[in-house]
Structure 1
């Protein structure tokens, strides 16, 4: 079974790389090849695949595990990988936003402070951060943003 999903992953030249990684992860976890540690190993493989493609690692946070686990049910029931694709893509965007902000040497502030200085609703900004429509990222559980002007 592992050989099959590895072959499918390598042969897929039509789909977006993050979508391929998400589907591979769903297939890997469906096979459940180990007695213990399948989830951790699967997430390590996600990061290996991302790094091999030149992208940074991602974090699937504990707060997001409910939707993460729901994506397995959706895939099992309907072979729909869209939920996992969204999880991987949003996590990758957040990881990229963080790295770009640091590489540019931008001044970093909490999203709460940013909301005050920009006279914007913190809830609106938090929703935008979760959807990654602004270049926000989390550090130690706190949403932050670099020098950003919409």
Structure 2
């Protein structure tokens, strides 16, 4: 169980974020757009895309990536960016129809035969030792997940979102694109409760991310995913508060050196979000004037 002190810390940072963000909608919009390529690259990398951040930025700018790249990976970057931009624009209520529209956009030109629809017939899927839900029951299971998500309003928002992500990935409703759409849904649900989007990182996915999904599949516990999402949300909040309020942002390593703190210790504090550090282009940054 997540202890009260953790939720109180989240509430404190959320309040700080809302005070800092008030009157700065353009800043929030530009921050989200600035991290678009990184969000796309990281989510695709979780699914084993080989595109670098530089490749992804070039593709989204209408240029060709460096070196020879698989055409599918180019489409994956363009399509996920289009879905993410649609998410950021908002306007349409979250629904199964929106979910299917985003899936159609994600797989357009990649798997048009399965784009924009749930698994059906004999379309079974397996991820390692996990078998997705029986295709015959996928639509009703997704309906049930949305209904439960909307009705569990006594739980903290982050916990509800973590549960929904676990349930969605265990159902694995699509032939392809489940992970990327699932992570898009996390950010849409965060957006709906007034919180910024997060980036689930590919680098430590076999330690930080996959085990939480496996834990839910085995035990029906979403606590591990909730803990992960809390840290990611804190990082996203700290990033926005810092960029809006700080005079200068510097590398965490430079801050640690000036503060007389070991680099490893500073990085560990950043990973646990006990200091307001955040990543930009996968590099830890912090307010130059932050003091412990």
- Could you state the TM-score of these two structures normalised by the residue count of structure 1? 0.97
Larger-gyration structure (1/2): 2
Structure 2 residue aligned with 1:95: 236
Instruction: List gaps (5 residues or longer) in structure 2.
Output: 1-140
Pair 1:149 & 2:291 matched: yes
Question: Which one of 278, 282, 291 corresponds to residue 137 of structure 1?
Answer: 278
Give the whole-Å Cα distance in 2 for the aligned partners of 1:123 and 1:117. 14
CA distances 1:9-49 after superposition (whole Å, capped 9, x unpaired) = 11012111001000000001111111100000000000000
Shift of residue 63, structure 1, vs aligned partner: 1.2
Shift of residue 106, structure 1, vs aligned partner: 3.1
Q: CA RMSD of the aligned region, Å?
A: 0.9
Question: Which one of 20, 24, 37 corresponds to residue 177 of structure 2?
Answer: 37
What secondary structure does 2:180 align onto? Answer: helix
CA distances 1:27-77 after superposition (whole Å, capped 9, x unpaired) = 011111111000000000000000111111000011131121111111111
Give the whole-Å Cα distance in 1 for the aligned partners of 2:184 and 2:163. 15
- Could you state the TM-score of these two structures normalised by the residue count of structure 2? 0.50
Question: Which one of 153, 159, 162 corresponds to residue 13 of structure 1?
Answer: 153
Give the whole-Å Cα distance in 1 for the aligned partners of 2:255 and 2:222. 35
Give the whole-Å Cα distance in 2 for the aligned partners of 1:85 and 1:63. 19
Runs of 4+ in 1 over 6 A off after TM superposition: none
Pair 1:65 & 2:205 matched: yes
